[in-house]
Amino acid sequence: MKMPAASARMATQLAPSVQVSGLYVAAVPSVATESAAYLTLKNTGKTALILTGVSSPAARVGMLMTMKRMGAPGNALDMTAMKMVTDFALRPGQSLTFAPSGAHLMLSRLTGPLSVVGQTVPITLNFRGGAVLRLAAPVRRLQ
Ligand SMILES: [Cu+2]
């Protein structure tokens, strides 16, 4: 018989089959209350991966977000706005790039300044099924 605590611990030790590249957190002025993390994820496994959440001790709230175009191209109201999403799916072999113009890992209500280039921010990614990826993201200027 499994103990609930033991199975919970097992779940957090599951590592997703994923390759990470280009990870960084955008440096922001010390008065800023939010920033974002960017990276490329590649599903190196044989099953679909569903990214369901992001968290960091550097932020009280972590959100998966995309940029959504509002209004019509060329229109005065043409602009983009951030939109929260519940998950990002990656088919086997598929790559997904999080970049300033699109998908990003929002770090909101920062717990301290992220103004120093070179400082490191722990980032945790959660995947459906209990897989967890713990990363250390360097702070860099927005690229
Ligand atoms: Cu955002």
How much is the pTM? 0.85
CA of 130 relative to ligand 1 center, distance in Å: 24
Q: Give yes or no for a contact between 109 and 60, defined as CB atoms under 8 angstroms apart.
A: yes
Q: Can you list the domains of the chain with their CATH numbers?
A: 14-140 (2.60.40.1890)
Cα distances (angstroms) measured from residue 95 to each of 30, 61, 69: 33, 25, 22
Q: If you ran DSSP here, which 8-state letter would residue 116 be given?
A: S
- Number of other residues whose CB lies within 10 A of the CB of residue 133: 18
- Beta-carbon count within 10 A of 135 CB: 16
Cα(113) to centroid of ligand 1, in Å? 17
- Portion of the chain with pLDDT greater than 90, in percent: 77
| Local confidence band at 13 (pLDDT 50, 70, 90 cut-offs) | low
The Å distance, Cα 118 to ligand 1 centre, comes to 22
Confidence of residue 79 (pLDDT cuts 50, 70, 90): confident
> What is the Å distance from ligand 1's center to 24 Cα?
15
Q: What is the DSSP letter of 7?
A: H
pLDDT (tens digit, 9 = 90+) per residue, 38-73? 999 999 999 999 999 999 999 999 999 999 877 776
Which residues contact residue 58 at a Cβ distance below 8 angstroms, ignoring those fewer than 6 apart?
A: 25, 107, 110, 111, 112, 114, 121, 122
36 Cα: distance to centroid of ligand 1 (angstroms): 7
